[in-house]
Amino acid sequence: MAGPVSAQNLDDVVVSASRSAQRSFDTPAAVQGVTREDIQGAGPQINLSESLVRVPGLIILDRQNYAQDLQVSIRGFGARSAFGIRGIRLLIDGIPATTPDGQGQGSSISLPSTDRIEVLRGPMALLYGNSSGGVIQAFSTAAPKEPELTYQYYTGSNGLHRADYQWGDTLGSVGIVADYSTFSTDGYRVNSAAERKQFNGKVTFDMNDALRVNLVFNQFDMPQALDPLGLTRAQLTADPSQAGNNAVRYNVRKTVLQNQWGGSATYAINQDHLMTARAYYGTRDNLQYQAGTTANGAWTGLNRNYFGVGLQYNARSMWANLPVQWAAGYEFDRSREFRQAGASLNGQKTGQPSRSEDNQSDNSDLFVQGQALMSERVSLVAGLRSITVRFSSEDYFLADRNDGSGNVSYQATTPVLGFTYHALPELNLYANYGKGFETPTLAEMAYKNGTGTTVVGQFNTALNASNSQHYEVGSKWVPNAVSRLDFALYQIDTVDELVVLRSVAGQTSYKNAPGTSRTGWELSGSTQFTPHLALSASASMIDAHYAQAFTSGTTAVDAGKQLPGIPQSFLYSELAWTLSPLAARGAQPGLRLAAELVQAGRIYANDTNSESADGRTNLNLSASHRWLWDKGNITAYARVNNVSDERYVGSVIVNQAARQYFEPGLPRNWTVGLSLRLPL
């Protein structure tokens, strides 16, 4: 059951913008929080797209392809990604889930054990370092005061099965939460079945009133994720459930195993000074079989080790007779991966590897940011981050006489400056400016263009980092205790934007475009018509285009062409009725009915805008009923998505060389589930 409207207003506390707890209404940035009730009520808690669809400016396109993960973008950053997440920083319990080069996977977040998710957009996100077009930060649920067991089970269309087991307790000064979940699906399309298992554990030690230590461990195990590949327009029209060319023939698929350990310590020196330290280590093994560009298929294997440390100091003090809240810190992160590749036959490795190399990336960053109350009505926010990112590759495969070894480093200083005008107790106005910096990722540097329509596996050090300037103005209005309206208007100008040059059979090369421009607005609001009826909605529009003409391979791209992979508009709205009054917090008994409307605009699939996916409108209906007893509860869920059974494209593969751009969305589909919370 979704959270009450009032919970999303003045009392909503976030930490992403200022790096300390602050009411979202007072935050001088575009930031939204999604609660645990939102996450649990939005679906079976498999994908971020279920609950984060309500956040304006954040676009999550569900590929229905678990081998490539979701396509996530914030204000257009990340839309170029052929797989995983680019251009956006992910953090889980304060620990980076994004490698130094800017790569991340949304599936790293264990949704059943997540208490809330914050999404930070705009210039303030730039203070999080390289590839900070936005920040998605997840926080695990806290341990209950008494022992508690939670069980969830969902089933649905296309052989969907989802189970989750969670146990938590507080033993003296130690809090424990352990969560294990399984997921499997046959998939809507041919060759799209998947299986995942995930564990997330958190132990909290309250050593004394001043010191708290958190230890976390999570594992993501995906033993199978078949890849249906994209479809041509003719294939999409004929049968959207079919697999793309050679997907079945080459048994295209991916397996992933990731383990991560981490810890953080927070020490309150006194009421005005706080020190936080964190460290983590992880491994990720990735094996992918691709369709290939020859008579045989191809495979790519990655074995990654990564670690990082960070230190942050928060303080409140007086400066020039002004109250100032500030934070300063240092972060170092390193990722090293052993990459191999070769030919496959009937979905198995054949012959000797044709690629063998060590790739490494690391970052070393210093940052400082502060917020000062200049007067009763005006507050100032400013920050600075010094970023150094280094890449290197050592090529062990020299039989082709092409030594792909190399190294390159990038450095930038990104400033942010903003003001908030507290016009009225219920109205805040703000304006921000910042400079952004985004390096290519190791995956984007892994290939160069070959002859004809091919790409070749060689480390590409010719790519530049992109630099951007961000301008933002916004307002936050809370006219009453159950209503809120947020608005943001932005302009982003980028030079050396990284764009897809060519994508062939899962192998993608990139280049720098001379200049791009993004202009857009975002609106989100919620209100309560009666104690039982509420409306929440969000909308965004963006004009993201190439500001200068350039040549992509042999193709001329004119100035004014839209950046591919970005819906030009997006609308989400939900009308919900509950038997229990909405003003009450926490688990409330009774029935909840909701209707969602999701609209997305046209998405261009290539730089020349000659191919595109039409916009779509989906109606989703859901119902849930919660029964309470003693300290426990049981909740039944039912949901139907795409009620009108509209045929639409869920996402596109940008600049796909064989014109297999389109990844179909799901037809009408259903999910039912049961959740049991039992005190022990």
State the average pLDDT over residues 407-436: 95
Q: Model confidence at 4, in pLDDT bands (50, 70, 90)?
A: very low
Read off the pLDDT band of 79 (50, 70, 90).
Answer: confident
- Evaluate if residue 583 carries a pLDDT over 70: no
Query: Which token pair is 245?
Result: 């060319």
> What per-residue confidence (pLDDT) applies to 454?
75
Mean per-residue pLDDT, 497-517 = 81
Q: Is the pLDDT of residue 423 over 80?
A: yes
Q: Give the pLDDT confidence score for residue 447 in this predicted structure.
A: 81
Domain of 326, in residue numbers:
5-679
* Summary mean pLDDT of the chain: 91
- pLDDT tens for residues 255-308? 999 999 999 999 999 999 999 999 999 999 999 999 876 678 889 999 999 999
Beta bridge partners of 212: 206, 266
pLDDT band at 2 (very low <50, low <70, confident <90, very high): very low
Write out the two tokens for 138: 């997840």
pLDDT digits (tens, 9 = 90+) for 529-547: 999 999 999 999 999 999 9
Q: Average the pLDDT over 370-380 and give the result.
A: 92
pLDDT of residue 80: 76
Q: 3-state secondary structure string, 329-390?
A: EEEEEEEEEEEEEEEEECCEEEEEEEEEEEEEEEEEEEEEEEEEECCCCEEEEEEEEEEEEE
* Predicted pLDDT at 505: 61
Q: How far apart are CA 151 and CA 265, in angstroms?
A: 30
Q: What is the pLDDT of residues 596-634, one digit of tens each?
A: 999 999 999 999 999 999 999 999 999 999 999 888 999
pLDDT score of 294: 65
Q: pLDDT tier at 20 (50, 70, 90 boundaries)?
A: confident
Q: What is the pLDDT of residue 286?
A: 95
Over residues 526-531, the mean pLDDT reads: 94
CATH of the domain at 523: 2.40.170.20
Task: Kindly report which listed range (276-280, 317-321, 464-468, 609-613) carries the lowest average pLDDT score.
Answer: 317-321
What separation in angstroms does the CA of 452 have from each of 218, 355, 584?
44, 21, 64
Q: 645: exposed, middle or buried (C-beta count within 10 Å: 0-12, 13-18, 19+)? A: exposed
Q: In this model, does residue 467 exceed pLDDT 70?
A: yes
Stretch 47-68: mean pLDDT = 92
Which three-class secondary structure state does DSSP give residue 443? coil
- Which one, of 591, 629, 668, 570, lies nearest residue 61 by Cα? 570
Sign of the C-alpha dihedral computed for residues 368, 369, 374 and 380 taken in this order: positive
Integer CA distances (angstroms), 354 to 150, 397, 418, 458, in order: 48, 7, 51, 11
Q: How confident is the model at residue 7 (pLDDT cuts 50, 70, 90)?
A: very low
- Into how many domains does the chain fold? 1
At residue 89, the 3 state secondary structure works out as: strand
| Residue percentage of the chain with pLDDT more than 70 | 95
Instruction: Write out pLDDT tens, residues 158-204.
Output: 999 999 999 999 999 999 999 999 999 999 999 999 999 999 999 99
